[in-house]
Amino acid sequence: MSFYRSVIQGLALTVCLVGSAVANAPMVSERPVARPGSTPPPSLERIIDSTRFDGDLGVALVDVATGTIIEARNAEQAFAPASVTKAITAMYALDKLGEDFRFVTTVGMVGTQQGSVLDGDLVLIGTGDPTLDTDDLIGLADQIKAAGITSVTGRLSYYDGALPRLREIDDQQPSYVGYNPAISGLNLNYNRVYFEWKRQGSGFETSVDARSDIMRPKVSMARVGISDRAGPVFTYENRDGVDAWNVRQSALGNGGGRWLPVRDAGRYTADVFVQVLRARGVSVSRTDRIAQIPPVYILAKHDSAPVVSLVQDMLKYSTNLTAEVLGLRSSLQERQVESLAASAALMQDWSAQRLGMQAARFVDHSGLGDQTRVSPLDMVRALRAKHLNDPRFVDVLKPIPVRDAKGTVQGAAEYSIQAKTGTLNFVSTLAGYLVGPDAKTFAFVIFGQNMDQRMKTMDPLVEQPKGSKTFNIRAKVLQRHLLARWAQLPEVFGQ
């Protein structure tokens, strides 16, 4: 039984969200009043000073049931939400696609089978599965082998046009970071290749593969050279469709490995599949991209996990590719889109209508682009609206350990935190729910940023500029102190 159709005893959904009627319901602001004789929690100003947080801070804490604003600071100011954006994408995908939607990858044949020989072509057809990996390709190859085919006279055609073909998510990121890959209707291993190196005498032995638990197919469309030079650690250029990387020798040490993005996801998937087919005993010679799907006889099929599972994993591991694919696929339910910006604009309109987000601006679905802007008030509106419509969304978010102001995990805490984190250089965000006794629930948002420092230090060749790590550490300490403060307020859990 799927997550959203499971029966929760004793739960009665007495509030239904229709359009934006509830989402735009006014929220009443009240100032917390401490009990006589109790020790008040530290003020926001004291927390900011003690954590030495240097930047803009926006917060909002709202009682979901009543709409009462318990605390707010710069709540209408626009912030870069970073990966907190994925919480909105999750709501969008669940609404547009439904919890049971699955991405399907198939392999068909065009031609006739004569014994073990296919006189014709194999056709690999993708619908955008963001979680397809090399082991899944092995499963498809084994199904073809089980159909009795060991040789193909033609080619492996591949269709990757179910989603727009994009070379990267955000063009402001360093070229070599694995979290900024290409997107297409065929995606593999989160559209990354594994670059591994080992010192061999005075030089290095290197490899680039599409590794899995079972196999390590070599990748021909990505190459890495090594140069004894000054300058950036990695350089990149496209050489006739090949991702040509060059790494500075002094940065390699004695050995290691890292994931690098690919820039043509469909070709990458098809090239690896040819190697997998050959390794499993099916001979095929070459690959070609096709613009349309021909009539085929289906030989093999792989289904992704249902969307609700993809959403949970996306929020847990903050996978940018999954977010962008889910967002694009959701927008395509309404109309054709050719870019992340166009798709994000549809999600923006949807969030205004369904969640009451009055001034949000989205440029993608992952939060990787720093031009997305959301206010704490809009974000908390969205969280409240979603909870009123479906309280079980709380459990889709990642559980966050409850800690006291000193950072000690509170194993016996009377409340839980379910939230989404977000991080860019000089941007740190957290948003979700505080759930207390009797399921009393509060939606909260903590947005912190120093955009001046971000703009000053932005360099497409540098992954983590000076000062960004310190900012992030202080922001997370601030978040911890704020959550501990809120749990002590009398209007929250009655302490």
Give the pLDDT of residue 460. Answer: 81
Q: How far apart are CA 313 and CA 255, in angstroms?
A: 31
Both 231 and 293 in a single domain?
Answer: yes
Both 234 and 382 in a single domain?
Answer: no
Q: Percent helix, strand and coil across the chain, each rounded to 5?
A: 30, 25, 40
Query: Which residues share a beta bridge with 256?
Result: 197
Both 42 and 170 in a single domain?
Answer: no
Single-letter code of the amino acid located at 304 = S
Single-letter code of the amino acid located at 138 = I
Q: Which domain holds residue 349?
A: 3-99+307-493
Single-letter code of the amino acid located at 123 = V
* Secondary structure class of 161 (helix, strand, coil): coil
Both 347 and 285 in a single domain?
Answer: no
Q: How far apart are CA 395 and CA 392, in angstroms?
A: 6
Q: How far apart are CA 166 and CA 184, in angstroms?
A: 6
**CATH number, domain at 21?**
3.40.710.10
Both 293 and 339 in a single domain?
Answer: no
Both 77 and 107 in a single domain?
Answer: no
Distances in Å between the Cα of 120 and the Cα atoms of 234, 287, 292 are 42, 13, 17
**CATH number, domain at 285?**
3.50.80.20
Output the DSSP codes for 74-127: STTS-B--GGGHHHHHHHHHHHHT-TT---EEEEEEEEEEETTEEEEEEEEE--
Q: How far is CA 96 from the centre of its chain?
A: 17
Could you tell me which of 243, 222, 248 has the C-alpha nearest to residue 233? 248
Both 318 and 444 in a single domain?
Answer: yes
Give the pLDDT of residue 24. Answer: 45
Tens of pLDDT along the chain (495 residues)? 443 333 222 222 222 333 333 344 445 544 445 444 457 788 888 999 999 999 999 999 999 999 999 999 999 999 999 999 999 999 999 999 999 999 999 999 999 999 999 999 999 999 999 999 999 999 999 999 999 999 999 999 999 999 999 999 999 999 999 999 999 999 999 999 999 999 988 889 999 999 998 999 999 999 999 999 888 899 999 999 999 999 999 999 999 999 999 999 999 999 999 999 999 999 998 899 999 999 999 999 999 999 999 999 999 999 999 999 999 999 999 999 999 999 999 999 999 999 999 999 999 999 999 999 999 999 999 999 999 999 999 999 999 999 877 788 988 888 999 999 999 999 999 999 999 988 899 999 999 999 999 999 988 888 899 999 999 999 999 999 999 999 989 889 875
Give the pLDDT of residue 495. Answer: 52
Give the pLDDT of residue 36. Answer: 47
Both 350 and 482 in a single domain?
Answer: yes
Q: How far apart are CA 109 and CA 298, in angstroms?
A: 6
Both 467 and 349 in a single domain?
Answer: yes
Both 23 and 111 in a single domain?
Answer: no
Both 300 and 387 in a single domain?
Answer: no
Element containing residue 70 per DSSP (H, E) = strand 69-73
Among candidate residues 238, 269, 304, the one where a domain is terminated? 304
Number of domains within the chain: 2
Among candidate residues 304, 337, 359, the one where a domain is terminated? 304
Among candidate residues 285, 304, 323, the one where a domain is terminated? 304
Both 233 and 174 in a single domain?
Answer: yes
Give the pLDDT of residue 459. Answer: 85
Tokens of 215: 């196999």
